[in-house]
A and B are shown apart, each in its own frame.
Chain A
Amino acid sequence: MRQPRLSLREQPLPGGQPLAFGIGLLIALIVGTLLLFAAGHEPLKIYSRMFEASLGDPDAWAKTVNRAVPLGLAGLAVAVAGSMGLWNIGAEGQIMAGAIAAAWVARIGGDWPGIILISMMLIAAIGGGGVLAIGPALARAKLGVNEIITTLMLNEVAIRLVQWLIHGPWKDPDSYNFPLAPMIPDQARLPTLFSRAHFGLLIAAAVIVIASVAVRHTAWGYELRIAGSSEATARYSGISLSKKILTVLVLSGAIAGLAGGVELTGTADRLTETISNGFGFAGIIVAALALMRPSGVAVVALLFGAVQIGGQSIQTLGVSSSVSTILQAFVLFGAIGAGVLSRYRVVLDTDARSSNKELSDD
């Protein structure tokens, strides 16, 4: 029986990951066309609308960029941990922790001047995200507890913390009993750059550049990547693994926290339970598509932001938002599959047993 099997390519296919992402988009486009046809829509009309709404004019670009900012920061948070082979699945919760901390500063600093208030809010956000990551970081560094599960669990805790705050202690007395936190002061809003694109773009870009340089071009980053590729090598070369794990995971949480702070001062009026809107999970995907390279995160975040904004825009044409969710998932799976196939090729074995024997003869 001929049985397909994967064999490692001597060299990955040229174009590798961008190509994989492109193939993912193509697959999503095909599946999307079928879905749209099935639902009785005109796919071409829908696609041109998606393009216009996300990249068609400066206003559209502003929306896409504003979406790319939290996606990029969350993606960077995951990628920084990923450079060392760690999984921060908790960006979603850390974003909320960051937003909570920033909202708290906005509560106490209502009469501070704008630049001080915003700076303090963002610093608090960094701290909030970092604090939520300390537990998983310590547990992983000192006890070897798998960080995937601990960070995942803390997401659920963080969202409930936000819910509790806006249903209880932080409920706006003027909200007619709706569970809403009060609006942040006017001077706490980030200034805009063009159209409605806010200053967060520059913050995110700066942080991504700094992190890319730190991971790619410093001794610290070099040790990080060594530890990521082989624990044993890292140990032999005297790198303190537990200290590295601790700093990297807390740093990762802090970057995600910053995303929450930027989101609060940039696009949201107040702390809400949807302040993260799945950015933390999307960030994992952004980072994975960027192969955990901080420098690749910006491009992927921008593309992903455009897909999300385009997907939202077609709801006015009567296309349910679930179609864009499904399309996102297909981009992901398409890219995951293409990513694997850029590194492996499929070979047909004439007999699975015989290849097994070959190997054992080696």
Chain B
Amino acid sequence: MTEASLIGLLFATVSFGALLYLAALGELLAEKAGVLNLGVEGMMAVGAVTAFIAGVELQNPWAALLVAMLSGALLASVHGFFTVGLGAEQVVSGLSLTILGLGLAAYLGKDYVGLPPGAELVPVEWGGLSDLPWVGPILFNQAPMVYLALLMGLTVSFVLSSTRLGLALRAAGESASSTDSAGHSVLGLRLSAVAAGGALAGASGAYLTLSITPQWAEGITAGRGWIAVALVIFGAWRPGRVGIGALIFGGTLALKTRLQTFGVDFSPIILSMLPYVLTLTILLIISVQARKRPSPAPFGLGLAYRREER
């Protein structure tokens, strides 16, 4: 293994990690507020395609990112309307959202398949930092989305742990009826969390088509939305741990395409099972521990709230 290929691997680990982190943070927000959204894969696909289209039409990567985030939030709001507004089953609505998102993405993008990108988010130059050995090319030569993901992680962590809004949000996910009694709108909190989650999934999709593989093709999200769902559990619903998990899972994605160049005789397909197997393992560990201390999952996760039924 040469130095250059190792640097390439670590660079890709960080960028895939950021991609997963953005989507997982979105899912974490929704789940913290009590809403399981299994539509991440669909929201990512819509974010990816709308970012690409907006890039081609507007020629501005930041406008494209904004369009993708708004589209993600809009799509997530469909889930919000059905599960929070009507109290429909979250699992069914979320899976339907994935179907809707994948269908919409294919429909919207059919005239853009194979086109050159109109806008790209190019790596940020950090002056002297970018020239440092090892650290420079791995950490200080990344697309802006990587730093945005880090910033979002810190923001989500701060908002959830140290602000009144975050407290209310977590309360809505733990016990909706007492949140309601305390005068907060469970409806408003949950809807906003779901929409914000969709915006982050959209941003994650945009990162794909504006930077990682700047083109549109159907199926470009390749199941990464499901990894994001897994990450939230892997990270025990804590933004920091989810970030560490994102790097580990990002590493498996980065390694998958490089095994052969490293001369490792191991099936990349088997390697790609790793995130799911790791998540299952962590889930078992959490539940064995849960006999001694409470489970980290929000208590009201998956439960609809209708005031008259409390």
* Given A154-B276, A160-B273: A336 touches B287 (CB 8 Å cut-off): no
Question: Is A153 an interface residue when CB atoms closer than 8 A count as contact?
Answer: yes
Q: Is the CB of A322 within 8 A of B103?
A: yes
Q: Note all chain B residues with C-beta closer than 8 A to A359.
A: 307-308
Q: Is the CB of A6 within 8 A of B99?
A: no
Q: Is the CB of B107 within 8 A of A322?
A: yes
Q: Is the CB of B308 within 8 A of A8?
A: yes
Q: Is the CB of B96 within 8 A of A157?
A: no
Interface centre among A160, A330, A344, A359 (most CB of B within 10 A): A160
* Given A160-B270, A325-B106: A337 touches B92 (CB 8 Å cut-off): no
Question: Is B74 an interface residue when CB atoms closer than 8 A count as contact?
Answer: no
Question: Is B125 an interface residue when CB atoms closer than 8 A count as contact?
Answer: no
* Given A288-B89, A333-B78, A340-B88: A160 touches B269 (CB 8 Å cut-off): yes
User: Which of A8, A155, A164 is within 8 Å of B269, CB to CB?
Assistant: A164
Q: Note all chain A residues with C-beta closer than 8 A to B106.
A: 320-322, 325
Q: Note all chain B residues with C-beta closer than 8 A to A7.
A: 308
Question: Is B139 an interface residue when CB atoms closer than 8 A count as contact?
Answer: no
Q: Is the CB of A288 within 8 A of B92?
A: yes
14 A-B pairs within 8 Å (CB atoms) are namely A89-B95, A135-B280, A148-B302, A153-B276, A153-B280, A164-B270, A168-B269, A285-B96, A320-B110, A322-B107, A329-B99, A336-B89, A337-B82, A356-B307
**Bound Cα distance from A163 to B222, whole angstroms:** 14
Question: Is B297 an interface residue when CB atoms closer than 8 A count as contact?
Answer: yes
User: Which of B87, B96, B279, B297 is within 8 Å of A6, CB to CB?
Assistant: B87
A residues contacting the other copy or chain, number (CB 8 A)? 54
* Consensus secondary structure, chain A interface: helix
Q: Is the CB of A336 within 8 A of B306?
A: no
- Nearest-CB distance from B25 to chain A (Å)? 18
**Bound Cα distance from A101 to B98, whole angstroms:** 29
Q: Which residue of chain B is the closest to A336 with respect to CB atoms?
A: B88
> Which chain B residues numbered 103 to 160 have a C-beta less than 8 Å away from chain A?
103-107, 110
Question: Is A156 an interface residue when CB atoms closer than 8 A count as contact?
Answer: yes
- Nearest-CB distance from B112 to chain A (Å)? 13
> Which chain A residues numbered 1 to 23 have a C-beta less than 8 Å away from chain B?
5-8
**Bound Cα distance from A344 to B304, whole angstroms:** 14
Extra 11 A-B pairs, beta carbons < 8 Å, given A156-B273, A325-B107, A333-B96: A89-B38, A139-B284, A144-B287, A145-B287, A149-B233, A336-B96, A340-B86, A340-B87, A344-B87, A356-B180, A359-B307
* Given A143-B284, A323-B107: A87 touches B99 (CB 8 Å cut-off): no
Number of A-B contacts (CB under 8 A): 144
**Could you mark each residue 176-193 of chain B with 1 if its beta carbon is under 8 Å from any beta carbon of chain A, else 0?**
000011000000000000
Q: Note all chain A residues with C-beta closer than 8 A to B92.
A: 284-285, 288, 332, 336
- Nearest-CB distance from A161 to chain B (Å)? 8
Q: Note all chain B residues with C-beta closer than 8 A to A152.
A: 38, 226, 229
- Nearest-CB distance from B294 to chain A (Å)? 12
Q: Note all chain A residues with C-beta closer than 8 A to B288.
A: 143
Q: Is the CB of A149 within 8 A of B107?
A: no
**Bound Cα distance from A56 to B240, whole angstroms:** 57
Question: Is B259 an interface residue when CB atoms closer than 8 A count as contact?
Answer: no
Q: Is the CB of A329 within 8 A of B100?
A: yes
> Which chain A residues numbered 322 to 343 have a C-beta less than 8 Å away from chain B?
322-326, 328-330, 332-333, 336-337, 339-341
Q: Is the CB of B88 within 8 A of A281?
A: no
Q: Note all chain A residues with C-beta closer than 8 A to B102.
A: 325
Q: Which residue of chain B is the closest to A320 with respect to CB atoms?
A: B110
Interface centre among B223, B230, B287 (most CB of A within 10 A): B287
Q: Note all chain B residues with C-beta closer than 8 A to A161.
A: 273
Question: Is A33 an interface residue when CB atoms closer than 8 A count as contact?
Answer: no
8 A-B pairs with the lowest CB-CB distances in the bound complex, closest first: A325-B103, A329-B100, A322-B106, A326-B103, A322-B107, A332-B96, A153-B276, A164-B269
